[in-house]
Structure 1
C-alpha cells in the first residue's frame, strides 16, 4: 500500500450522535445555518404553544425578544409533560428535548393528543434545544413546577421538581440560539411581528403578546374571527364585493394504499381594485410557496369565473379565455387549512404537496363559488366585468410592451436615426448634455451656439402629447415621444398594475449626465416645458429623483445701454438693472424666441456652463408634485378651473400681452 493512500473500510463510517446531529448540520433540520434557520428554530417552540392553545388549553401566548438576542415563549397550556414515562421507561423530558423523532403528535389521525398539529415532524423542541447556547424550560402541571437546564445540547442537573401553587398551568421556554450553530442569531423585530400576526390570523381568538426589551414596546395581535377579520383589514373600505367566508371538513387519501386522514378548510375572500393578496396557511404555518392550496385556488376560480363569463355571453367573439392573473389582480384571498396527515416539501413547511387536500379544496371552492355567483347577481356582474377589464388591459399591455421594446431597442445611429437629433462628440456620459429645445428654429440657433464636444440638441416639433391623460398605447404611437425616449436611451418605467411587464427602464443605459429643457420664455414655451416634464415624470420618473433633469432659464428682457447689453430673467432683475442705469439712455427689448437669438447670446445666456442658469428639477414632495401634475394636466377639469380662478392673478406678469 502506498504511503499516503487513504483507507475506506468499515471503520470509515461515522454516525453523528446526540446534539451533533443538529449542531454540525443545522441546515438539514432548519433549512439554513443562517438567520432563516434561526428563525425557524424559534417557530418550532412557538408552534408547540400554538398547538396547545388551538386544542383549547390557554388563549394567550407571550413572546419576549431579549436584548441579548435570547427568546422567551410563554403559554397557558397544560404544561409540557417532563416526568417519568413508565411505558417508555424513560423521562419524558429526554424524549421531548433529546430525541429528534419523539413527541405527542405522531398519532394525530386518532385525535388523541392533537387533532391538527403544526409541530408534526417531531423535531422541533429537541432540534431547537440542540442548537441553543442555553435553554431553560419551566413546566407548571399536576401541582408541580418542573425545571430543566440545557447547555449546548447537554442537560445540566437533571429534572428539578417541586410542589408549586401556580395561577395556571403552562410552559415557559427561555433560550438563546448558539452562534456556533447559526451564523446570525439577531432575529429582527419585524420577523416576530409578522409571524405573530399571521398566527393570530389563523388561530381565531388566541391573543399573541410581543414584548421587545430593546425598544420597550409591547404589541398585541388577536383576530376574533380569524381570516375573515384579516381579509376585511386588508381590503379596508375599497372592496367592490362583500367578504365571503366558506368552511368545510373532509376525509380522504393521497393514494389508495395510504391512510385516510381528515382535513378542515376555511377560506375568506373579497374583490378589490386597489389591493390584492394571496395567502395560504396550513396547520397554522404560512405557506410561502403554497403548493396544494395554490393549485386548488387557481383551478377553481378560473373554472367558475370562466364558466360564468361564457354562460352570460361576456366574451367577445373569438376572445381568449381569462387566466388566473386576471382574477388575482383584483382578489384578496386567504385560506387556512388543517390536516391530521401533512406532506410538506421540506422541514421548513413553506409548501404542502397533499394530493387529497388539493382535490378536496378544488371541489369545495368550485361548489361554493358556483352558488355564490348565482345567488349574488350584482356582485357576480362586478367581478365578471372587472376580470374581463383586467384581462384586456393585460393583453393591451403585452402588445404595447412588444411594440415599445421594438421601438426603443437598438442604438441611435445611422441605421436607427432620430429625425433632426444632433449628437455631440464625446462618449463620456459624465460630460454629455442633452438640450431638448422648442422647434426647428431653436435647433438652428442652439446648434450654432453650442459646444459640439459635449452638447447635443433634440428639437420638439410643436406641443407634445399630454402623457398624464393618455393611455400607454396612445403614448407610444407618438413619434416625438418615442424619438425622445430613444435619445435618452434608458427605457421606460410603467407603474400600473396591469403593465408590470412593460417596464424596460435601466438607469445604466442613460446616455446623458444632464437633460436640459430649453423653451421660449412665453406662455407657449412654458406649456411645452410642462408637457415635456409631464412625459419624463410619467415615463422616466427616476431621472427626476436622481437629479438628471434641468430647466434652462432664458432671459425675458434684453437691455442695451451704450455698447453694453444686460439680460434680465424677470421683472425684478429688469428693475434692478434700470435703477443702476438711472439717467442713462437705455433700450429695453422683450427677449426674442430662441430661434431669433444670435449664437453669441445663446451661448452666453443659455449654454455656457460658466454663465447659464439651470434649475434642477427635484420634487421635494413627491405627493405634492403628483397632485399638481394631476390638477394642471389631468382629468380634474373643475379643480383646474377653481385653481386658476383663485391663483390666476399671481401669474399675470408672465402673460405676453400688450
Structure 2
C-alpha cells in the first residue's frame, strides 16, 4: 500500500473513551510512574476524590474513606447523596454527562466538563462504581472503559458512592503510589474543607481551622505577626510575613490547587497592596508590600474556567473586582482593629523599601556589566526555542536548561543535546553558598548573576525562559555538594520555582556493563550486579564482560550521553514536603554549624561489610 495515499479509508472516528485512551495527555496531563505529584495516577485519584469532596461542600456526608492496596487499586467511599441509580453507568462512561452542569445541584464544583470520572474509567484496567440511595444500590463494573457487569438490588448501606479503580499498566507502566504524595493530597483536602474527615490506612485527616492550619504548617520562618484570616461563603484567605525573600502563595479554586495561580491570585495580591496603601495613606510598591509574604487563598466559583482539564490556572475575569474589594476591606479593617499588627507589618514594608533602594545602585552596576556582553553569557549555551513569557510550552515541546559543573561535563551535554529545546549553563566550579546571604549577593557574584540572567527571573519567576531547570552534576561527593549548593540557591531566592515543579535533578548511569553483544547502563550498584548476572546468563561467563564505573559526566562520550538526555532521560522533580522544614534542613546541612554537623556524620556513618 502506498503510504502517501490519502482517501476516505484513512479517516477514523474514535469513540470518546477510545479518544481518552489514545490521547490520555489531553485529559490528565503527564503520565509518569508515580514519582511526581503531577503524574497521571494521582490525577485519577484526584478526580474521584473531587467528586466525593463536592458532596461535602454541598452539605452531604462528613467522612470519606480511602484505600490503596499493594497492586495499586484505589477505593474511595463517600457518604453523600449517591449517584442517581438510573444514571450510574452514564455518569462514569459517557462524556459530557453529569449533574455539575446544574448549579442547583452542585454550586461550587471543580469538575464541570463531565470528563473526570470517565477518564478514570477509560484509563483503568478495572473500574467499578456502586451507588447507594434510599436502601437500594446499583453496581457497574468496567474493563478499560467497557461495561462487563451491571447489577442492582436492595442494600442496608448508608447513602453515598463507592468507586474503585486499578490504573492500566499498559498506559502507566511500572506505576506505584507514593504514600507520602497521597498523604499530602489528603491533608490538603482536609485543610480546604474544615470539618471533613478523610480516612486512609486507619489514619484520620481532619482540620478544624482550615487555611490557618495550612498556613501554620507551611511557615518556614517565624511569622512577624499573627496571620490575617478571613472566611466567607465563597472566599477564604490567610497571610502573614516573615523575613524570607520573595512571595509564596498557595491558591485553590473549589478545593483544587491551582499551581500556576490565575485571576484569583492576582486579585488577592492586588487587594493586599490596595488595603495597606489605603490604611497607611501612602503609595508603597507592590514588591515592597509583598516581599516575605506567605499567603493562602481559596475561592469558590460557580462556573470556573480553567486553562486545561488538569486545572492548574484559573481564567475567570469576572471574579477579579469582587476579590480585590473583599481583600482590601479585610486588610484595612484588620489593621485598624489590631494596631500592634499594623505597626509590625508597616515596619516590614518600610524595611523592604529600604533594602530595594540600597539594591538599586548594585543592580545598576550589575546591569552595566551585563550590557557589555548583552545576552551572550559565556557560561550559557542557549537553545533556540523558548515559550512565551509566563506561559508553559505545549506538551511534547518543553524546553529545558541543564546546570552542570566544569567544561568536560558541559562539553558532553552540549555535543549531544537537542539545540532546539535544550540549553546548558556551565558552572566554573563550586558556586557560592548563599544561605542567609542578602539579595545583593546575587548582583555582586558574577556567576550567580549570570545564572539569574540566563533564567530571566530577576524581575519575576513568571518570566522563566525554560519549562524545566535540571541540575546535572557528577554522582560523587563533590557533585553532590554542588547539587546541594544549587538547591540552596533556588530555595533561598527563587523558592516559587521549586513550588511550581520547575526544578529537577538529572540521573545519569554510574556503571556501564557490556559484552560484545549488548551494553547495559546501570544507575546503582544493585542494577550493576543484576546486569552482570543477566549477561552471565547468556553463557559467556565473566570473561566476556566489561564493567566500567563513570567517575563523572565528562567520562561519558557524547554519543552515549545523548540517550541519557533524550526520550529515556531520567529526572527527579525537587519536591518540598513542607516549607516549615526547608529552613531547618538548610541551616543544619548548609549553615555554619560545622561541629554539630560533623558530630551527626560521625554518629551515622555506616561501614561497608568486609
Taking structure 1 as the reference length, the TM-score comes to 0.55
Provide, for residues 210-263 of structure 1, a one-character-per-residue CA deviation record: whole Å limited to 9, x for no partner. Answer: 22xxxxxx43221122113322444499323233222446xxxxxxxxxxxxxx
Provide, for residues 284-330 of structure 1, a one-character-per-residue CA deviation record: whole Å limited to 9, x for no partner. Answer: 0011011011210222222333444554xxxxxxxxx6443433333
Deviation at 1:122, TM superposition (A): 0.9
Contact 2:237 2:297 in 1 (8 A): yes
Q: Is structure 2 residue 109 aligned with structure 1 residue 117? A: yes
The DSSP-based 3-state class of the residue aligned with 1:120 is: coil
The DSSP-based 3-state class of the residue aligned with 2:96 is: coil
Q: Structure 1 501/265 Cα, relative in aligned 2: closer, same or farther at 3 Å?
A: farther
Deviation at 1:397, TM superposition (A): 4.4
Q: Is structure 2 residue 4 aligned with structure 1 residue 42? A: no
- Matched residues in 2 for 1:160 and 1:265: separation? 42
- Matched residues in 2 for 1:624 and 1:7: separation? 63
The DSSP-based 3-state class of the residue aligned with 2:348 is: helix
For 1:156-195, list aligned pairs within 5 A: 156-157=148-149, 159-166=150-157, 168-183=158-173, 185-195=175-185
- Matched residues in 2 for 1:41 and 1:71: separation? 10
Deviation at 1:409, TM superposition (A): 13
Contact 1:304 1:370 in 2 (8 A): yes
Deviation at 1:74, TM superposition (A): 1.6
Look up the match of 2:294: 332
For 1:88-237, list aligned pairs within 5 A: 92-108=87-103, 111=104, 113-157=105-149, 159-166=150-157, 168-183=158-173, 185-211=175-201, 218-235=202-219
1:271 pairs with 233, 238, 241, which one? 241
Deviation at 1:392, TM superposition (A): 2.6
For 1:173-572, list aligned pairs within 5 A: 173-183=163-173, 185-211=175-201, 218-235=202-219, 238-248=222-232, 264-273=234-243, 277-311=248-282, 322-397=284-359, 399-400=361-362, 492-496=432-436, 499=439, 501-502=442-443, 504=445
Deviation at 1:383, TM superposition (A): 0.8
Which runs of no fewer than 5 residues in structure 2 stay unpaired? 34-38, 373-405, 409-427, 451-479, 486-586, 597-610
- Matched residues in 1 for 2:307 and 2:58: separation? 26
Contact 2:31 2:40 in 1 (8 A): yes
Contact 1:33 1:183 in 2 (8 A): no
Larger Rg, first or second structure (1 or 2): 1
Look up the match of 1:581: none
Deviation at 1:160, TM superposition (A): 1.2
Contact 1:64 1:72 in 2 (8 A): yes
Q: Structure 1 406/184 Cα, relative in aligned 2: closer, same or farther at 3 Å?
A: farther
Provide, for residues 571-606 of structure 1, a one-character-per-residue CA deviation record: whole Å limited to 9, x for no partner. Answer: xxxxxxxxxxxxxxxxxxxxxxxxxxxxxxxxxxxx
- Matched residues in 2 for 1:629 and 1:396: separation? 35
Q: Structure 1 625/173 Cα, relative in aligned 2: closer, same or farther at 3 Å?
A: closer
Deviation at 1:542, TM superposition (A): 5.5
The DSSP-based 3-state class of the residue aligned with 1:209 is: strand
Look up the match of 2:20: 22
Contact 2:221 2:242 in 1 (8 A): no
Provide, for residues 60-101 of structure 1, a one-character-per-residue CA deviation record: whole Å limited to 9, x for no partner. Answer: 1122222112211121222222x33xxxxxxx1231121011
- Matched residues in 2 for 1:291 and 1:237: separation? 26
Contact 1:490 1:505 in 2 (8 A): no
Aligned residues: 407
Q: Structure 1 364/384 Cα, relative in aligned 2: closer, same or farther at 3 Å?
A: same
Provide the aligned C-alpha RMSD in A: 3.7
Q: Structure 1 181/504 Cα, relative in aligned 2: closer, same or farther at 3 Å?
A: farther
Provide, for residues 43-68 of structure 1, a one-character-per-residue CA deviation record: whole Å limited to 9, x for no partner. Answer: 11111111112222211112222211
- Matched residues in 2 for 1:382 and 1:137: separation? 54
Look up the match of 1:57: 60
Look up the match of 1:4: 2
The DSSP-based 3-state class of the residue aligned with 2:142 is: strand
- Matched residues in 2 for 1:18 and 1:281: separation? 29
- Matched residues in 2 for 1:225 and 1:65: separation? 28
Q: Structure 1 14/236 Cα, relative in aligned 2: closer, same or farther at 3 Å?
A: closer
Contact 2:230 2:238 in 1 (8 A): yes
Which runs of no fewer than 5 residues in structure 1 stay unpaired? 85-91, 212-217, 250-263, 312-320, 411-427, 431-487, 510-540, 547-620, 631-658
Contact 2:82 2:159 in 1 (8 A): yes
The DSSP-based 3-state class of the residue aligned with 2:304 is: coil
- Matched residues in 2 for 1:542 and 1:230: separation? 32
Look up the match of 1:32: 30
Contact 1:143 1:165 in 2 (8 A): yes
Provide, for residues 29-56 of structure 1, a one-character-per-residue CA deviation record: whole Å limited to 9, x for no partner. Answer: 1122335223212211111111112222
Q: Structure 1 497/351 Cα, relative in aligned 2: closer, same or farther at 3 Å?
A: farther
Q: Structure 1 429/235 Cα, relative in aligned 2: closer, same or farther at 3 Å?
A: closer
Deviation at 1:491, TM superposition (A): 5.4
Taking structure 2 as the reference length, the TM-score comes to 0.60
Look up the match of 2:69: 66
Provide, for residues 548-570 of structure 1, a one-character-per-residue CA deviation record: whole Å limited to 9, x for no partner. Answer: xxxxxxxxxxxxxxxxxxxxxxx
Contact 1:235 1:270 in 2 (8 A): no
The DSSP-based 3-state class of the residue aligned with 1:127 is: helix
The DSSP-based 3-state class of the residue aligned with 1:175 is: strand
